Amino acid sequence: MSENTAAHGPVRDENAIIKRSKPLTDSKTTTTRQLRKPDAKVSSLAPAASLGPSQASTTGPTTTRQALTNVTNTSTATSRIHTTTKVQTRSKTAAAAAASTVKDNDNKDKPRVGTKRSATQLDEQTDVKRSKTEQEWEDLDKFDLDDPLMVCEYVNDIFEYFSRLEISTLPDPKYLEWQKGLKPKMRSILVDWIVEVHLRFRLLPETLFLAINIMDRFMSKETVQVDKLQLLATGSLFIAAKYEEVYSPSVKNYSYVTDGGYTEEDILNAERYILQVLEFDLSYPNPMNFLRRISKADDYDIETRTVGKYLLEISIMDHRFIGIKPSLCAAAAMYLSRRMLGRSPWNKTLIHYSGGYTKSDMKHVIDLLMKYLIEPVAHEEFFKKYASKKYMKSSILARQWAKQVEAEKLDVMSE
């Protein structure tokens, strides 16, 4: 029994996922993790049958508050007060004036029934609400106004756009139910292999997240045969590296890691077909962008962000996270990371820079993360990656902490 079989359980040849893969270690190493041999070569990535209704998440047009401009407050006289000239004492006149002033002040902000508030009144009330909100969280962007790389003038607009875009790029969370022969366990093995190749090529974290998103979105629209899953994974990583990396590995390198299971022409044909199905839409709001945004409110703590990266990658490893917004996964990962390391509570500033997520909003995702950490290791390469000193042994720390919380029956949501 090979090490790969021991790690992932026996896989029948007719349902083999990983085909004739090259050992991902140097040739001098005697003990290596061999990937499964292919039964037959696949020339291209052609679906067995087209999907039913494809997943197409759309959002309605965003409504914005139109500025009220060019409005002139006109004073209208509803009635004229006719008074007769009477002789009054100076004290009575002063008393009447004071009473009139008090009455006017009481009714100043009360609009009359059946009339609309003026633009000035609306702006004043908006300013009050805005000032109250600004007092609840600290504006950290103002300290980077002199840094052009931080684009502080546009950062809020950028993340508002990301929030709208992430909904349209979510895969179908139920695509595993109607994919023929594809089970969550198979996807788990496939993603673990992608992590291994990604680590071998020393690619960016953004590349890994985009590759999994491309693969899931493709399978949300097209039916893929089991013997072509590795070709889909290879093509997805090939596309993601081209999109994110400065220097991406050549197609020859990808053919090599499959040990010739797929030729260079096979991978290039798969690349074309994947892009056609996705309509060349690779504008995926990467979860790492949201994690870095929240990390700003965490004073860019390297420990919490490293553990947060491990927790965030769980969201692409486990099929239960398919269909959950990247921004929500990033917020839950940062919250749980701070809890593990004993940091301060989830305050107003963190809520603001996470996109407005409160603890109640994140509870479902945090529960899924805790379940994954308590369960036995399902992704061998993924666990080994974050068990290294480079990643501060985050996978070991997180699992030990989760098991302790489970044993003592502590409430993760209480701080």
pLDDT (tens digit, 9 = 90+) per residue, 189-204?
999 999 999 999 999 9
Contact 270, 231 (CB under 8 A): yes
pLDDT at 327 over 90: yes
Give the alpha-carbon dihedral of 48, 49, 53, 59, to 10 degrees.
40
For each of the domains in the chain, give its residue range(s) and CATH number, in order of start: 170-284 (1.10.472.10), 287-408 (1.10.472.10)
Query: For the whole prediction, is pTM greater than 0.85?
Result: no
Per DSSP, 39 falls in state: S
CA distance 352 to 296: 11
Contact 171, 219 (CB under 8 A): yes
Which position has the token pair 């690779």? 282
pLDDT at 313 over 80: yes
> Which tops the pLDDT comparison, 245 or 75?
245
Give the alpha-carbon dihedral of 271, 277, 281, 285, to 10 degrees.
-90
Q: Supply the pLDDT for residue 351.
A: 94
CA distance 44 to 363: 43
Q: Supply the pLDDT for residue 332.
A: 97
CA distance 84 to 62: 59
pLDDT digits (tens, 9 = 90+) for 49-69: 333 334 433 344 343 333 333
Which of 41, 11, 324, 1 is CA-nearest to residue 193?
A: 11
The predicted model gives 75-95 an average pLDDT of 40
Partnered with residue 222 across adjacent β-strands are 50
